[in-house]
Every structure is written in C-alpha cells, then in structure tokens.
C-alpha cells in the first residue's frame, strides 16, 4: 500500500463520516425515520442500497474464488436478477399498501400474530448465524491478504491482521448504523455502490490488460470454464435425477457440480425468498415514498445485480489465467504444480489481484470498494436485525411506547448486534469449515418462508393455521438437517468421517442439499394447503388488499397508475440480458 492508496482510503472514510453527519442533522426522533428513513428514499437510493446490501463476503471471497476454480458456474445465482422484477411487480404493491415496517408484520396482517413471532425469531437467529458470520470472516480475509504484517497490541496480546480487519469492519460499520439508522445505511450504500462498481471494473480492466485481452483469457482457460450449462450435469449422471453428494462443503460452495434439477427448482425458491421476502433486502423498498419509486428501485437493482458476473467472477478467472501463464507470479499461490486451482487458496483471488496487478492510487480506490462491500453488507444486517427486534418483538411486548423509546431501543439493539458480531470473530477465525457450512443454512430455512408468502398472496383460502403449521414444520425439518450436518461439517469427535453408511442419519446427511431444500418446500406447501382446508375459512375483511383475489378496484387503479411503458420496457431488457448471458456462456 503506497501513500496515494491511503489517501483514497482516507477519502472513502471521510465520505462515510460526511454522509453520517449529514444524516444525523436531518434525522427525526421517530420510528418511521430511524427504521424506514421516513419512507422518503428515491428509486436510485433504493436500488443502490439493495445492491450494496447484497454484495458482501460471498462475492468478494466466494464468487471470485469460484471463478478461479470453476469458471462461470456460479453465475446462475447472479442471473437470478429476474427475482428483483418479481419483487417490484408482484410484491411491492402489497407491501406498500399494507404500510408495514417488517416482513413478519406483513405475515401478521395476512395471517396472524403467531406467524409474525415465528418468522421474527427465526430471522434474527439466521442473520446472526449467517450474515454476521460471513461478513466478518470476509473482512478478516481481505485484511490478512492485503496487509498481512499489520498487528495490534492490546491488553498484552498481539492481534493478527485477521483480527484487526474484522474488528475494524464491525466497529466502523456499527458506528454509522447506530447513528444514522436506515437513512444512514441507505445513503452510505448509494455512495459505496458507486465506489464498489468503479473499483471492481478497474480490476477487471487492469487484469485483462495484464493478461493481453479477452481472447487471451479464453485461450488460457478450458472452454468448460465458460460453460454455464455443463456444471448442471455431473459425469455419469446425464439424464438422471440422482442426488449428487458433494465431497465436502467447500466443494459444493465452489460449485463442483449443481445438478440440473436442483438448479431448476431449488435455486429459484431460495432466490425468490431472498429477493422478495427477506427483511434484509425488502426494507429498502419499504422505505420508498410510493409504489412507483419502490418498483423502479427494484428494477434498477436488477440491472446492478447482473454486474457481479463481470466484476467478481471474471476477475477470479483472470486471476487463474494469470497464475497459469506466469504473467503475475504472485498469483501462483492459487494453483498447484500442474496449474490446477486450489479451492482453499482461491478464496483470496480477488484481494490478491488487488495487491499484485494494480498501480498505486488505483489500488487504494479498489480497496475502498472492497471495504464498501463488506461494510454495506454488515450495515444491512445490523439494521435489519434492529428493526425486527424493535418493531416485531419489543413493541409487541411493550405496546404504547413512545417514538423516542422505539428509536432508542433500535440504537441499543444495533449496538448489541455489533457486540455479537465482535464475539463471533474467534469462532469464525478458528473454524473455516464453519464459514462454508453456514452457506447452506439459507437453503434449509428459505422454503417455508417462501411458501407462506407466495401461497399467501395467490390463494385467499389459505389461513393462519395453515401458515403457522407450514412455518413450524418447515423450520423443524431445516433445523433437523442442520443438526445432522453440523458434527460432520465441523469434523468433531467420532463423526469426523460421517455417520455409519446406510444408517438413517447417514442418508439424511448424504441427500444433496438442494434436493433436501426441495423436500422441505414440498412438505411445507402440502402442510399449508391441507391444514388450511381442514380449518375455517379466513374472514374476508382481513384479506382486503392482501391477496390478488381481494384487491379492490380502487387499489387496482392506483397500482396501474404507478407504472408506465418505460418501466415495462426496462424490465424486459433485464430479461433479454439474462437470456443473452446464457446464450453466450455455452463453452
């Protein structure tokens, strides 16, 4: 890191400080302002904040690493940008009409308080286990790669670069999240999005220049790495539905193979849950002033979501090509003697590119982009947890509290989440297998949530009893699988090599994770429908405006007036770009 690099990093933190100070001066002591920015965010801020919150460790550490090990395979998930169109066109009208603060609150309006309680608690636990863990881990990886010699003496103990980076990311993110609330998070996200995209585009450009151009990248890597289709069919499984057991959690995370059945049905379920019903993402749309701004923000976010293929996956592939061709010797650490990628070492592909191929100044800008991605992702998690706890738990337990008390509770809740994040650091540092294991959590927790939201707005006959049963049964199935997987994933005790072959627990552990996720969805859906039809019909007055069949003519007219042909055309272009990507990446 040269002096000019530190100048850019200093300017980045100065920008965050300036935005935070500006937000504090504009803040009001109300829950609507602290948690939803007074519902006054325009479409650009909404879309940029959705994108910045999404871009985190799984992109910096995971996507670039996956690009270096298996090419464009993980682009399947990034091309789920169409899910954001579903948010804008299908769900935004319901969310904006109901004027809710949280997703569990919407479930209460549609079904009952029971569903709100269950979803709130599960969401809080899941955020702490997943979003906190992976965000903090990535911060440590980036710092340990870029500044390996940085150490800090504290209370007689020397903290490594991993610790210094993790603590710095968590603490600094916590400061502006506590101070600025949703408005602070959203506006810093917008600035961070610009920095992140600019920095990542630069690393792609400089990498291609060092390599000799796109044609050299195609020549240096096997054609299979440019094939979005082949990873869906492992050798020996052509034309079958047979489950494919991943050899390790690291292997499936880096996408050795995703069977076509899982990608066709499971991946969209997880994607639609995440982009259309997860508080972490949808809270930005809820902060828009009206349906039009929320929808346009979702469409804008869909365009931004297409970028990671080019600014994270492709740089990972460039890193592999540079290592293989010897044009960047420092990248040789990510390949073995035969030039094959080493999955574990490939995690550092993106920060290694920053460290080795960028000139002074540009490096500082890209590092600022890395920090932006890490901090925006954590800020979104802190803010979402604070909102869920305050509005869905504290306010329910203490009805009638003042707006000031809600804001104060939100700040304290955010601070507690920051503390929990700091306490996570030794766990994450000491268990790298845990990091990869946690990536599967959402595949087991998403199906019941997806079920109650989607079935709830399309089928007015489904009732509170059915929704609660689906949530409970689905979550129990997911938790059961996690409990079965945990000893094997962490390699503890006598289970280091798995369960006894052929036993019930061995069968559960060996079902491919996407197929088990589909199993949870089918059971949750069946439970919701069966229980609903065995219990009383929901009261019609409770459903007005909350399902497609109960939207009033006036509501339909208001919704129709909120979009134009330009919105439809912009959405269609997103779909065309997705299809074009699938047609181009055919090997």
> What confidence score (pLDDT) does residue 375 get?
79
Contact (Cβ atoms closer than 8 angstroms) between residue 482 and residue 444 = yes
pTM score, two decimals?
A: 0.87
Which of 320, 342, 339 has its CA nearest to residue 331? 320
- Count the Cβ atoms, other than its own, within 10 Å of residue 267: 18
Q: Would you give per-residue pLDDT tens digits along the chain (587 residues)?
A: 778 888 888 888 888 888 888 888 888 888 888 888 889 899 999 999 999 888 875 677 678 888 888 888 778 878 889 999 999 999 999 999 999 999 999 999 999 999 899 999 888 888 877 777 677 776 776 777 667 777 677 666 777 777 777 777 778 888 888 888 888 888 888 888 888 888 888 889 999 999 999 999 999 888 888 887 765 554 554 444 444 444 433 333 334 455 667 777 888 898 899 899 999 899 999 999 999 999 999 999 999 999 988 988 898 899 899 988 888 888 888 888 777 887 777 777 888 888 888 888 888 888 887 777 777 878 888 888 889 999 889 888 888 889 889 889 988 888 888 787 777 666 655 544 444 555 567 888 899 999 999 999 999 999 999 999 999 999 999 989 888 877 665 554 444 556 788 888 888 887 878 888 999 999 999 999 999 999 999 998 889 999 999 999 999 999 999 999 999 999 999 999 999 998 888 86
User: Quick one: DSSP state of residue 511?
Assistant: S
- Count the Cβ atoms, other than its own, within 10 Å of residue 583: 9
At residue 158, the 3 state secondary structure works out as: strand
- Angstrom distance (rounded) from CA 509 to CA 499: 8
For domain 3-439+552-584, the question of CATH label 1.20.1730.10 is answered with yes
Give the angle 95-50-450 at the CA atoms, nearest 5°. 50
Instruction: Return the structure tokens found at 507.
Output: 């069968």
CA distance to 489, 495, 511, 513, 539, per residue, from 492 (Å)? 8, 6, 20, 20, 51
- Cβ-based neighbours of 42, under 8 Å, separated by 6 or more: 288, 289, 293, 297
Q: How far out from the chain centre does Cα 474 lie?
A: 21
| Secondary structure (DSSP) of 234-279 | -TT-TT-------SSHHHHHTTS---HHIIIIIHHHHHHHHHHH-H
Residues in the chain: 587
- Angstrom distance (rounded) from CA 47 to CA 297: 4
Angle of helix 291-305 relative to helix 565-584, nearest 10 degrees? Answer: 20
- Cβ-based neighbours of 360, under 8 Å, separated by 6 or more: 2, 3, 4, 5
Which of 105, 417, 440, 111 has its CA nearest to residue 258? 440
| CATH code 1.20.1730.10 region(s) in the chain | 3-439+552-584
Instruction: Return the structure tokens found at 46.
Output: 């909404």
Which of 201, 569, 524, 528 has its CA nearest to residue 358? 201
């Amino acid at each position: 890191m040269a002096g000019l690099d530190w100048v850019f990093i200093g300017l980045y933190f100065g920008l965050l400080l300036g935005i935070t100070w500006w937000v504090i001066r504009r803040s009001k002591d109300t829950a609507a302002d602290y948690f939803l920015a007074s519902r006054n965010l325009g479409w650009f801020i909404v879309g940029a904040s959705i994108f910045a919150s999404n871009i985190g460790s799984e992109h910096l550490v995971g996507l670039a690493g996956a690009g270096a090990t298996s090419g464009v395979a993980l682009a399947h998930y990034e091309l789920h940008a169409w899910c954001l169109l579903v948010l804008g066109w299908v769900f935004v009208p319901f969310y904006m009409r109901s004027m809710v603060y949280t997703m569990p609150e919407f479930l209460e309006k549609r079904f009952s308080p029971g569903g709100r309680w269950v979803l709130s608690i599960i969401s809080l636990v899941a955020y702490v286990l997943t979003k906190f863990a992976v965000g903090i881990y990535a911060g440590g990886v980036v710092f340990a790669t870029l500044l390996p010699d940085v150490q800090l003496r504290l209370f007689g103990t020397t903290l490594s670069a991993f610790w210094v980076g993790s603590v710095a990311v968590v603490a600094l993110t916590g400061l502006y999240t506590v101070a600025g609330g949703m408005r602070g998070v959203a506006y810093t996200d917008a600035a961070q999005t610009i920095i992140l995209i600019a920095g990542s585009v630069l690393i792609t450009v400089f990498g291609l220049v060092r390599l000799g151009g796109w044609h050299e990248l195609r020549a240096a890597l096997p054609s299979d790495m440019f094939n979005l289709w082949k990873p869906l069919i492992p050798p020996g499984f052509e034309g079958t539905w047979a489950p494919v057991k991943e050899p390790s959690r690291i292997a499936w995370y880096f996408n050795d193979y995703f069977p076509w059945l899982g990608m066709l049905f499971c991946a969209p379920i997880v994607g639609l849950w995440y982009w259309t019903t997860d508080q972490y993402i949808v809270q930005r749309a809820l902060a828009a002033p009206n349906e039009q701004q929320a929808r346009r923000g979702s469409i804008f976010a869909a365009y931004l979501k297409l970028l990671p293929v080019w600014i994270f996956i492709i740089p990972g592939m460039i890193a592999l090509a540079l290592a293989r061709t010897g044009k960047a010797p420092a990248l040789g650490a990510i390949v073995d003697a035969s030039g094959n990628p080493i999955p574990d070492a490939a995690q550092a592909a993106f920060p290694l590119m920053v460290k080795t191929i960028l000139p002074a100044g540009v490096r500082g800008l890209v590092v600022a982009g890395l920090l932006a991605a890490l901090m925006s992702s954590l800020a979104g998690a802190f803010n979402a947890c604070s909102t869920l706890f305050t509005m869905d738990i504290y306010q329910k337990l203490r009805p009638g509290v003042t707006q000031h008390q809600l804001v104060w509770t939100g700040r304290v809740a955010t601070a507690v989440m920051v503390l929990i994040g700091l306490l996570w650091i030794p766990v994450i540092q000491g268990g790298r297998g845990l990091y990869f294991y946690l990536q599967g959590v959402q595949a087991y927790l998403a199906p019941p949530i997806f079920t109650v939201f989607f079935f709830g707005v399309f089928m007015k006959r489904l009732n509170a009893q059915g929704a609660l049963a689906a949530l409970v049964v689905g979550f129990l199935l997911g938790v059961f699988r996690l409990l079965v997987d945990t000893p094997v994933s962490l390699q503890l005790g006598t289970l280091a090599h798995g369960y006894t072959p052929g036993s019930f627990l061995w069968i559960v552990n060996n079902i491919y994770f996407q197929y088990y996720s589909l199993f949870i969805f089918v059971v949750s859906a069946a439970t919701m429908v069966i229980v609903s039809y065995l219990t009383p019909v929901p009261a019609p007055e409770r459903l007005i405006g909350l399902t497609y069949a109960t939207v009033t003519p006036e509501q339909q007219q208001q919704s129709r007036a909120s979009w134009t042909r330009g919105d439809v055309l912009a959405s269609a272009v997103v779909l065309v770009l997705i299809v074009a990507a699938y047609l181009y990446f055919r090997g």
